[in-house]
Amino acid sequence: MGRFILRRLLISIPILLGVTIVTFTFANLAPGDPISALMKPGTDLRPEAIEQLRLQLGLDRPFHERYLAWLTQLLQGNLGVETVGRGSIGAALARRIPNTVLLMGTALSVSIVLGVLLGIISAFRQHTRTDAVLTTAVFAGISLPPYLLAMLAIYAFAVLPFQLFGIHLFPANGIKDPASTLPPWLDTLWHLLLPAAVLAFAGTATFLRYTRASVLEAMRLDFVTTARSKGLRERTVRYGHILRNALLPVVTVIGLSLPALVVGALFVETLFSWPGVGSYMIEATRERDYPVIMAVALLTSITIIAANLLTDITYAFVDPRIRHS
């Protein structure tokens, strides 16, 4: 196991390098640069000021020089500063990652618990009304774009209650009310509920679908027939045999979802003005802020690699066949 982990870690290094090169290349190939993001017609930026800005930002240097400069800084533990706001990217990420983990962690936890439970129920009650209702909900959850779902939720639970009754049922966006006198944790919890519910709706649908399919497949395997013919109680067959095998693929799906804990949901965070990593990336893309784009891309890659590794290790522990092989 130790050698396996070491080998995976060593392979990660060229993968990460490749990701940064590709990201940097595409970011620079995209139209515009931070100067053009600042430039709007009629603004009083004199040509000499623009040129000075271009020099200050290092945009006059060749592509490879800029990449190597960024890489050198990274190896020294410095993610650099934002091109537009000049804030430390590391500090910004340190502030935003917990916000994303809070949102995505809540959504993911609810999704996993609900999705797996409902998936099991749906599979064990296949072809019943319960199964039909749950399957329909799955289609809705998967089909509706998260951005649209978010807008509907804000409208239904924030806008309409205020417009019709003058009450603030749920906040429309943000992670806190800067004018609030509530305990901070309560204020944050109140702001968390709606975006987490939106993400959990889509996430639950995904886990429900995978769990249902996996359980149904396991139910058809020979060992289940053998177990029943041995006279085992149905409860033991279901929970002791079927589920133990059916949940293995679900572990993989959960593992693949883990990067979202750190990277976030880009559009939902933006619409809810949730100050997480996802909205940070959207802003950076809009402003052509290359150092931020690179930092978030790197963070995403590291998270995916780590999540995959964790999934493989977990799988090995959960499935004795893999462990003994």
Partner 1 sequence: MSKAQQPSGETGTPLHAGGVLDTQVSRRTVLKAAGIGAGAAALAVAPVAGASRRTVPAAGAGKANQAKGEIIRLGALEGGLTDGFMPWKQFGQEFVWNWAAQMLLSFAPDGSVLYDLASNHTVSEDGKTYTFTIVDGATWHDGKPVTAADVAFTYNTALKSIAGSNIGGRLLPIVGAQAAFDDTTGATDATGIRVVDDHTLEIELVEPNAQFLPVLVANTRIAPKHVYDGIPIAEYPDQPASTTMFIGSGPYKMTAFTPKESVNLEPHPGYVNGSGYSGVPAAPGVVIRIYNDEEAQILSTQSGEVDFNYVRKPSGDKLELLSSIEGMNAQKSLVGFNIFASFNLLDPSNPLLKDKRVRQALVWALDRDVLVNDVLGGVFTVPSVMNHWIQEWAVSPDLEVYHPQNVEKAKALLAEAGWTPEMASQPLLARHYPPTLDPDVPIIQQYWADIGVTLDLQPLPDDTFFQDFYGDKDPNTPEDDGPAYDVAFVYGFGTLDGSPWGSDEFLASDRVNPAGLNSMRFANPEWDSAFAAGILATTREEQGPHFARASEIFNDELPYIPLYQRVDYSIVSDGLRGPENATILHPAAGGVKYWEWYKEEA
Q: Is 88 helix (H, G, I), strand (E, B) or coil?
A: strand
DSSP letter for each residue of 116-151 = HHHHHHHHHTTTSHHHHHHHHHHHHHHHS-HHHHHH
197 binds partner 1 (CB under 8 A): no
Q: How many residues bind partner 1 (CB under 8 A)?
A: 65
- Of 1, 10, 14, 46, the one binding partner 1 by CB under 8 A: 46
Residue 40 Cβ vs partner 1, minimum distance, rounded to whole Å: 6
Burial (Cβ within 10 Å: 0-12, 13-18, ≥19) of residue 217: middle
- Of 154, 227, 261, 277, the one binding partner 1 by CB under 8 A: 154
CB atoms within 10 A of CB 177: 14
306 binds partner 1 (CB under 8 A): no
Contacts with partner 1, 252-271, as mask; x by CB under 8 A: ------------------xx
279 binds partner 1 (CB under 8 A): yes
- Distance, in Å, from the CA atom of 253 to the CA atom of 247, rounded to the nearest integer, reads 10
290 binds partner 1 (CB under 8 A): no
39 binds partner 1 (CB under 8 A): yes
CB atoms within 10 A of CB 271: 22
175 binds partner 1 (CB under 8 A): yes
CB-based contact 66:113 (threshold 8 Å)? no
Instruction: Tell me which stretch binds partner 1 (CB under 8 A): 109-117, 240-248, 255-263, 272-280.
Output: 272-280
- Of 131, 177, 217, 319, the one binding partner 1 by CB under 8 A: 177
Which of 10, 179 has the CB closer to partner 1?
A: 179
Report residue 47 as tokens: 């040509």
Which of 174, 249 has the CB closer to partner 1?
A: 174
44 binds partner 1 (CB under 8 A): yes
Contacts with partner 1, 221-240, as mask; x by CB under 8 A: --------------------
161 binds partner 1 (CB under 8 A): yes
Rg, the chain, Cα only: 24
Largest CA distance in the chain: 87
Sequence-distant (≥ 6) Cβ neighbours of residue 295 within 8 angstroms: 79, 80, 89, 90, 93
Residues 106, 255, 193, CA angle at the centre, nearest 5°?
10
49 binds partner 1 (CB under 8 A): yes
- Interface residues toward partner 1, by CB under 8 A: 31-33, 36-50, 52-53, 84-87, 92, 95, 151, 154-155, 158-159, 161-182, 186-187, 190, 270-273, 275, 279, 282-283, 287
